[in-house]
Structure 1
């Protein structure tokens, strides 16, 4: 790929989310020009970093957007060939109203893309939680790209993260097909990586609601954020890419893997130091921590 003459202009919306920030960084490294569309968040360290980057990087332009304001989205998409739609609530998912906001945002992004002639593809960042939560989570044999989390189950158990990701992705797919917009979705597992506990703490804890049940049923998967970012970019660059892509590096199947995940999320999930060297405590500690954040599912 030519590093001096970027082949495309890309928009990352919202670039101040944890995944969006890393997609932005990887796009710049690959030689793309980038529109970083940012939703205002007073406490966002990543937003500050992006604005500092804009002053030093001529291939980066920052746009303030409101995903409920259709016109602000259109402005950020000007001359772009691709949109990386990374909607995430930095405050986490604790109420049903957050689901509605994410669905409305997804609809506005897809509709704006449909009305922008330059857009070639939307890469929609969803989540594995959009596919795994059903009444029969303990008995279903396979979880693949045809699976969706169950609406009634998520409402009953107040699985707001899963509901937001499932509903927004479904809405995006329905509108993209209706408007004949080329779209691909990437559904990562729990995202880990540099400073995740500081930059993505509340969405991480929202994902972990029901972690013990995920572990028991073999669907507690996680993935490094840099790998996730590269998969998103690959989904744009590969013209044959279509549909949904589940994305993860590791499924937690053993006691040792459970402890490794807990340590990766430290200090967000604390690890009692006196237990650290006692192997037979690994799984006990992990389940205690999972139950704290599973809200008695």
Structure 2
């Protein structure tokens, strides 16, 4: 197996994407050092400790993004650090964006990387960024544009529009890239879209909460009704390939499909007519082209095979039902 005898670190391991990463790394026989904010919170640790292979090859470490040096013991002896820990808070509800979003994203990334730079066994860092660090440029997007890895969000534009989450991801990625260049660390960046799919953790994360609102009531997540969707298992696969493939480099946009909410409603209505979404997708202008697409080329060259949207949506609903977050 690919990971036999290899030690890697996953930061923010109790999160939605990171929990899946820990699961799949253990499946591939990696030894995993996983960081969580509190070892005393079973909601953050229990689902990780119960994964197959956890008893033999998973160690949990307590670490805090804004506390310098708190990642030292977790990264020690690792060949790769998957830095995933970063707060996800909707821009509209952030009272203090600097303290709640920007500092943890920027200082947290630098704290992890400073510790990683001291590790002689380290071969690569894989940083989880976001399509938020790609989409918000100075110039407006042209209709039909193909968004790819050469696009970068502009911090000033994000600040002017009070897009605090995109700003935090943009600055966090910038800080990581600059630091790794200076220190000669091999860095690969993964920029996922809006992540859906089954959840492993026992509590709802922000994205799953939004998705649940959309499924249950049709409440829009994005005001324009345009969704850059990707399955959590594809995102995790991209992270693992970004480490295992020596040719991996730069950044990778990981978006399965850009679609309208009316298309999502159509799929929900097909499998779960009891939700009563048929009116909603009829209201949406069916078949209208999306204003842009995101290139899958670089991610597919890396080896990412994208899950069909219908499968992701169905698996999301079934997972939320299984955990009793949705009942119908």
TM superposition score normalised by structure 2: 0.72
Residue of structure 1 equivalent to 2:247: 240
Task: Tell me, in whole angstroms, the C-alpha distance in 2 between the residues paired with 1:33 and 1:24.
Answer: 10
Residue of structure 2 equivalent to 1:45: 43
Q: Which string of whole-angstrom CA distances, capped at 9 and with x for unpartnered residues, describes residues 165-210 of structure 1?
A: 111001000000000000000000000011489532258759x998
Cα pair 1:10 1:33 within 8 Å, conserved: yes
Residues 50-69 of structure 1 mapped to structure 2, 5 A cutoff: 50-53=48-51, 57-69=55-67
Cα pair 2:135 2:153 within 8 Å, conserved: yes
Aligned-pair CA distance for 1:133: 1.3
Cα pair 1:188 1:247 within 8 Å, conserved: yes
Cα pair 1:90 1:203 within 8 Å, conserved: no
1:229 correspondence with 2:236: yes
Q: Cα 1:129–1:43, aligned 2, differ >3 Å: closer, same or farther?
A: farther
Task: Tell me, in whole angstroms, the C-alpha distance in 2 between the residues paired with 1:103 and 1:14.
Answer: 15
SS of the residue aligned with 1:211? coil
Q: Cα 1:258–1:156, aligned 2, differ >3 Å: closer, same or farther?
A: farther
Task: Tell me, in whole angstroms, the C-alpha distance in 2 between the residues paired with 1:195 and 1:172.
Answer: 28
Aligned-pair CA distance for 1:78: 1.3
* 2:113 counterpart (110, 115, 123): 110
Aligned-pair CA distance for 1:27: 0.1
* 2:188 counterpart (184, 187, 193): 184
SS of the residue aligned with 1:280? helix
Residue of structure 1 equivalent to 2:97: 96
Task: Tell me, in whole angstroms, the C-alpha distance in 1 between the residues paired with 2:282 and 2:121.
Answer: 57
* 1:147 counterpart (133, 151, 162): 151
TM superposition score normalised by structure 1: 0.79
SS of the residue aligned with 2:48? helix
Aligned-pair CA distance for 1:68: 2.3
Aligned-pair CA distance for 1:277: 5.3
Listed as ranges, the gaps of 5+ residues in structure 1 are 285-297
Q: Cα 1:144–1:44, aligned 2, differ >3 Å: closer, same or farther?
A: farther
Cα pair 2:129 2:192 within 8 Å, conserved: yes
Residue of structure 1 equivalent to 2:314: none
Residue of structure 2 equivalent to 1:199: 204
Residue of structure 2 equivalent to 1:35: 33
SS of the residue aligned with 1:199? coil
Cα pair 1:54 1:60 within 8 Å, conserved: no
* 1:250 counterpart (223, 245, 257): 257
Cα pair 1:88 1:203 within 8 Å, conserved: no
Task: Tell me, in whole angstroms, the C-alpha distance in 1 between the residues paired with 2:122 and 2:18.
Answer: 18
Residue of structure 2 equivalent to 1:211: 222
Task: Tell me, in whole angstroms, the C-alpha distance in 2 between the residues paired with 1:196 and 1:136.
Answer: 39
Q: Cα 1:136–1:253, aligned 2, differ >3 Å: closer, same or farther?
A: farther
Q: Cα 1:18–1:275, aligned 2, differ >3 Å: closer, same or farther?
A: closer
CA RMSD across the alignment: 3.4
Residue of structure 1 equivalent to 2:162: 158
Task: Tell me, in whole angstroms, the C-alpha distance in 1 between the residues paired with 2:170 and 2:220.
Answer: 15
